[in-house]
A = this chain, B = another copy of it.
Amino acid sequence: MRDEGMIQLFRRLLRTPDPVARDAAAEAMRVVARPVERQRNQSCDALVAAGRIGCVLAGAVRKYSLRSDGHRQIVDLLMPGDFLGLSHRDPCFALEAVSNGTRIASFRPGQVEALAQAHTVIANLILDRTADAIRRLEAHLLVQGRTTAIEKVGGYLVTMCGRMADGRNGSLLLPISRYDIADHLGIAVETVSRTMTTLTQRGMIALPSPRHVEIRDPVRLAEGTSY
């Protein structure tokens, strides 16, 4: 069952006009991938420290750094399909599962390189996913670079909406807490909470429950996020 989910994800990620090559590559990845599971707030550092490469299958993983003053700065949020360990030359970031049941397909050191050697589609996959990480970070810089909290949180919600599978219709269940959002945007938790309230009052979003966000006015919400 679980492996089924894995191979379907791999098939979706492998972009090629040739479905036969794609399925063969997906199968090759599945065979060598070791699925691991992490619970809420559990570290994934060991995996990367061992030189392994991982692909998030379910749940989410946060990549962050702790400062001397105790503040936590989240630099990236890895969701299903995102890879971890591709850019880790220096081990300055910590990785942690965001929610229970976070599942990761783990590859031994060198294994991904070997797969890339054997399958052109997989080599392209790696390039795709790193380019995607760059786009994600750039988009986040655009959001974080805004001046007001309204713009930051608004832009963030729109981005999350685009990344979540269930977000297509403008309704999404946030996988992360207010604290995570605050640490990702570099603002205070209270500000995040207040801003969400303001956005609700202005009719730009609706909040059936704290984690359940409905995007009412994506245009005004994304204003300033225009890239």
Contacts and interface: CB of A to CB of B under 8 A. Distances in A.
Given A75-B138, A147-B186, A69 B133 contact: no
A75 B137 CA distance: 9
B137 A141 contact: yes
Contacts of A186: 144-147
A120 B136 CA distance: 28
Nearest to A226: B68
B144 A141 contact: yes
Given A127-B130, A134-B137, A75 B226 contact: no
Given A131-B130, A186-B146, A138 B93 contact: yes
A193 interface: no
A145 B144 contact: yes
A81 B146 CA distance: 29
A131 B129 CA distance: 11
A125 to B, nearest CB: 13
A90 B135 contact: yes
A149 interface: no
A73 interface: yes
Nearest to A73: B145
A99 interface: no
Interface in A76-90: 76, 86-87, 89-90
Task: Sort A-B residue pairs by CB-CB distance and give the 7 closest, nearest first.
Answer: A145-B186, A137-B137, A87-B131, A87-B134, A92-B227, A73-B145, A65-B227
